[in-house]
Amino acid sequence: MQNLPHHYQVTATADAEGDVTLAGEGLPSLATAPPAEFGGPGDRWSPETLLCAAVADCFILTFRAIARASKLAWTSLECSVGGTLDRVERVTQFTAFTVHAKLVVPGGGNEEQAQRLLAKAEQSCLVTNSLKAQAHLEAEVVVAT
């Protein structure tokens, strides 16, 4: 890892109508639009879905690093994130994120260690640590047979 602070730059461009295009140096462009709940087409990534995706992605990448450092053998991790958007004191904001994680470890794997490392990943995720809304982990460890 490089020394902190790290800096990230994204550019968003749009015309009066249509998609917003997100771009970052060395990254493929991404077309976004409002979600259906805000009158958008509902078939593109939106700021809301991108935020939930960032929580899921960060959780998995954090877990991967922690598991590697702890020498935990694992086969796969599926993570889905549900975000709740609500109005609080006349301000629309995310109020909660529920992280559903399903981890598969090989037969004979340490289920207790796996649960502990999933919880540590939740506590260490830099994206959720940067948000006002609380994140709640619902973890399942499956030992392959």
User: What's the whole-number mean pLDDT along residues 32-42?
Assistant: 97
Would residue 91 count as lying in a domain?
yes
Confidence of residue 1 (pLDDT cuts 50, 70, 90): confident
Would residue 37 count as lying in a domain?
no
Would residue 25 count as lying in a domain?
no
Give the pLDDT confidence of 91-138 residue by residue, as tens digits.
Answer: 999 999 999 999 999 998 899 999 999 999 999 999 999 999 989 999
Is the CB of residue 139 less than 8 Å from the CB of residue 119?
yes
Q: Quick one: pLDDT at residue 68?
A: 98
Would residue 116 count as lying in a domain?
yes
Q: Quick one: pLDDT at residue 98?
A: 97
- 128 contact partners, CB below 8 Å, separation of at least 6: 55, 58, 59, 97, 99, 122, 135
- What range does the domain containing 69 cover? 47-143
Q: Quick one: pLDDT at residue 21?
A: 98
Is the CB of residue 101 less than 8 Å from the CB of residue 77?
yes
Tokens of 84: 């709740």
Q: Quick one: pLDDT at residue 145?
A: 83
Q: Report the domain count for the chain.
A: 1
Query: Domain containing 99 — which CATH number?
Result: 3.30.300.20
Would residue 30 count as lying in a domain?
no
Residue linked to tokens 């995310």: 94
Would residue 28 count as lying in a domain?
no
Would residue 128 count as lying in a domain?
yes
Would residue 2 count as lying in a domain?
no
